[in-house]
Amino acid sequence: MIIAIDGPAGSGKSTVARMLAKRLGFWYLDTGAMYRALTWKAMQMGVKLEDENALCSLMDETTIEFQGKDENLRVFVDGHNVTKEIRLPSITNNIHYISNKPGVRQRMVKLQQKLAAEGNTVAEGRDMGTVVFPNAERKFFLDADIEERAKRRYAEFKPSHKEVFYADVIKDIETRDRRDTTRNNSPLVKGRDAIYINTTKLTIDEVFNMMLKEIESVGHT
């Protein structure tokens, strides 16, 4: 069984995806981490982020793996643990170069489908229900007002980034939203068969319970 969760940054999809995977005993697939991992390697190797051919070649010779489960999930690139490195602002600011390349996305989709074929999966990202897993048993699209999403991200970043400012966070989210929704290849959109949940005024537990109820309705818990 595959549960596909899409939505913009700060909508709560990562947190609830981990919670559902843990509750259901499913594999958690963080597809955003995969693009971050390739971005990290490209920057480490000095590959030009605008060069699609070079990025595709890099992807072909790169091994991206996950170890652990739920909140203990770790990301490895060619055997190197990059779980912390891929969350640095430098990666966040450059990931759009990677995610916008059709050739890279095609390779990522194949890898994501291969990983999900290993067992029941909760997959979260930007195009899970529309492109990667169009036949997923349950599809969700999480959203929230941009101010609320910025508040969440600011609270997340503040403890480890003393110089972070709310105005910068909301500007960054606006930029990412624009890039994600307007790119030609696999844009962020709500699929017609996805269940829409606005999380602005909901607690994460309320969102979790709403989604779990929908999943239970297909009889796979």
For residues 30, 36, 41 and 44, what is the CA-based torsion angle, rounded to 10 degrees? -140
pTM here is 0.92
Strands of the sheet containing 64-67, edge to edge, are 64-67, 74-77, 80-81
pLDDT, tens digit (0-9, with 9 covering 90-100), for 119-163: 999 999 999 999 999 999 999 999 999 999 999 988 887 776 667
CATH architecture of 1-26+120-216: 3-Layer(aba) Sandwich (3.40)
Region of 25 please: left (phi>0), alpha (psi -120 to 50) or beta.
Answer: left
Q: Return residue ranges of the chain for CATH 3.40.50.300.
A: 1-26+120-216, 31-119
pLDDT score, position 132? 97
CA torsion, ordered 64, 121, 134, 192, to nearest 10 deg:
-120
Query: Residue written as tokens 């403890």?
Result: 159
Query: For 25-88, where are the alpha helices, taking DSSP H only?
Result: 31-45, 52-60
pLDDT digits (tens, 9 = 90+) for 161-214: 667 788 999 999 999 999 999 988 889 999 999 999 999 999 999 999 999 999
- The whole-number pLDDT of residue 160 equals 67
Q: CA-to-CA distance for 182 and 178, rounded, in angstroms?
A: 6
pLDDT in tens, 76-124: 999 999 999 998 889 988 999 999 999 999 999 999 999 999 999 999 9
Question: pLDDT category, 72, cuts 50, 70, 90?
Answer: confident
Please count the CA atoms within 13 angstroms of the CA of 204 that sit on its side-chain side. 13
Give pLDDT, residue 165: 87
φ, ψ of residue 88 in degrees (nearest 5) = -70, 150
Q: What is the pLDDT of residue 4?
A: 98
CATH 3.40.50.300 fits 31-119, yes or no: yes
**pLDDT value of residue 85:** 94
Q: What is the tens place of the pLDDT at every residue in 13-64?
A: 999 999 999 999 999 999 999 999 999 999 999 999 999 999 999 999 999 9
